[in-house]
Structure 1
Amino acid sequence: MARILAIDFGTKRTGIAVTDELQIIASGLTTVDTKELIPFLDEYVKKENVELFLVGEPKQMDNSASESEVHIQAFLEKLHKKIPSILIKRVDERFTSKIAFQTMIASGLNKKQRKNKALVDEISATLILQSYLYSK
């Protein structure tokens, strides 16, 4: 089997999480400057066997697309052009940032550590991936 890689896209930073090769465990991988996201993913898939990109789909409470969807669509087009061999799926990411923050509190991180937005993005990507694994 191959890994699944989850992306919590942001206009400044993007959180990334990945499964093990058996697709059992979701782990935070890193947070990348969004300008470097496509080159990072391109290099990663050259080193690791990835079969699926999961990209968070932010929605409003009424199920309409969020404002950031325009940026995500542009990213998806670039990603598909650069790495057409890997399937891309979207996953509802409502509340992942709030859950990530609550997870940080529950794990005992201090206030300064909880202000680390890069860590929140990485945890959010992990939550997106974990929800997908649960739904399989």
Structure 2
Amino acid sequence: MGRLLAIDYGKVRTGIAITDELQIIASGLTTVLTKDLISFLKDYITKENVDLFLVGEPKQMNNQPSESEILIIKFLEALEKAIPNIPIERVDERFTSKMAFQTMIDSGLSKKKRQNKALIDEISATLILQNYLNSR
């Protein structure tokens, strides 16, 4: 069984989370510059067995796609072309950034560490992945 890899796509940075091989535990992996994302993923799958990419789907409160969806669609097309053998699923990511920030507060991180946007992106990807695991 391979890992599940979640992506919290952003214009500048992208958070990435991964499961264990049994697909039970979601853990933050890293945050990468979005311009390097495809090459990072290509390299990662040469080292680890990945069964599925989960990509956050940002929606507004009225269930309409958010403005960033246009960028994500372009990324999805590039990802499918670059790594056609791994399926992609979308996961609703509403409120993950707010929940990530609250998680940082609840875990006692200092105000300075809570300003680390890369960490917020990584935690958001972990929440996307955990939501997916919980829904199965």
TM-score for both structures, normalised by structure 1: 1.00
Distance across 2 between alignment mates of 1:77 and 1:99? 28
The match for 1:27 is 27
TM-score for both structures, normalised by structure 2: 1.00
Tell me which amino acid in the other structure corresponds to 2:32: V
How far off is 1:68 after superposition?
Answer: 0.2
What percentage of residue pairs aligned between the two structures are identical? 74
How far off is 1:56 after superposition?
Answer: 0.1
How far off is 1:74 after superposition?
Answer: 0.2
Tell me which amino acid in the other structure corresponds to 1:76: L
CA RMSD of aligned residues (A): 0.3
Query: Do structure 1's residue 103 and structure 2's residue 97 form an aligned pair?
Result: no
Task: List gaps (5 residues or longer) in structure 1.
Answer: none
Distance across 1 between alignment mates of 2:75 and 2:46? 19
The match for 1:36 is 36
How far off is 1:22 after superposition?
Answer: 0.1
How far off is 1:7 after superposition?
Answer: 0.1
The match for 2:6 is 6
How far off is 1:65 after superposition?
Answer: 0.4
Aligned residues: 136
Superposed CA deviations along residues 52-92 of structure 1, whole A, max 9, x for unmatched, are: 00000000000000000000000000000000000000000
Secondary structure of 2:52 counterpart: strand
Secondary structure of 1:30 counterpart: strand
